[in-house]
């Protein structure tokens, strides 16, 4: 993996943790809201911490989409779970929340599991179908289906 790809994964982790932290801080200032009262939701979004939290979560989503364009979900999602550790540290020291020993243990187990996933390839090799079929629709011998596809599948999913 290139430095740029590591940077994107770091961005996914940091943007998610920072966005959630800002959103939490802002919502604690705003108080309870209800989706039945639109004015309360608008008032909450006008809180600077909530607004910045939303922007950071949008940056997370953009980074997440970027990372999924070049890596498998089974690689990206565990890599983003390192954000749990970062989020717990922010919650403990910046937001002054109590983090129980059981939560720390859970975070340690999740972070340890990430080490197993990080050792594998970012993108598993896929067989490419030269007829332009989606890998999800193509039949092959590995899934117990015949190796050759008898019916052509058009983009709408209707067989001819």
Give pTM, 2 decimals. 0.70
More confident residue, 76 or 104: 104
The answer on 107 and 35 residing in a single domain is yes
Query: What pLDDT is recorded for position 134?
Result: 52
The answer on 23 and 44 residing in a single domain is yes
The token pair that represents 92 in the structure block = 């403990």
The answer on 141 and 105 residing in a single domain is no
The answer on 83 and 63 residing in a single domain is yes
Number of separate domains in the chain: 2
Helices (H), 69-139: 73-80, 83-93, 101-118
The answer on 67 and 144 residing in a single domain is no
d(CA 33, CA 56): 21
The answer on 79 and 17 residing in a single domain is yes
d(CA 123, CA 2): 13
pLDDT tens by residue, 92-129: 999 999 999 999 999 888 888 877 776 677 777 665 44
The answer on 157 and 101 residing in a single domain is no
Q: Is 143 left (phi over 0), alpha (psi -120 to 50) or beta?
A: alpha
The answer on 42 and 17 residing in a single domain is yes
Question: In terms of residue numbers, what domain contains 51?
Answer: 3-118
pLDDT at 56 exceeding the cut of 90: yes
**Cβ(99)–Cβ(91) under 8 Å?**
yes
The answer on 131 and 101 residing in a single domain is no
The answer on 147 and 105 residing in a single domain is no
Query: What pLDDT is recorded for position 49?
Result: 97
Q: Mean per-residue pLDDT for 1-29? A: 92
The answer on 133 and 82 residing in a single domain is no
């Amino acid at each position: 993996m290139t430095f740029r790809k590591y940077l994107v994964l770091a961005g996914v982790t940091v943007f998610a943790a920072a966005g959630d932290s800002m959103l939490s801080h802002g919502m604690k200032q705003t108080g309870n809201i209800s989706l039945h009262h639109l004015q309360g939701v608008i008032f909450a979004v006008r809180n600077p911490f909530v607004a910045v939290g939303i922007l950071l979560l949008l940056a997370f989503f953009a980074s997440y989409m970027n990372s999924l364009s070049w890596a498998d979900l089974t690689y990206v999602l565990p890599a983003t779970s390192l954000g749990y550790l970062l989020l717990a540290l922010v919650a403990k020291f910046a937001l002054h929340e109590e983090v129980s020993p059981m939560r720390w243990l859970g975070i340690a187990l999740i972070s340890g599991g990430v080490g197993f996933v990080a050792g594998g390839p970012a993108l598993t090799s896929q067989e490419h179908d030269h007829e332009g079929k989606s890998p999800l629709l193509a039949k092959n011998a590995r899934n117990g289906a015949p190796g050759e596809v008898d019916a052509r599948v058009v983009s709408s999913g209707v067989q001819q």
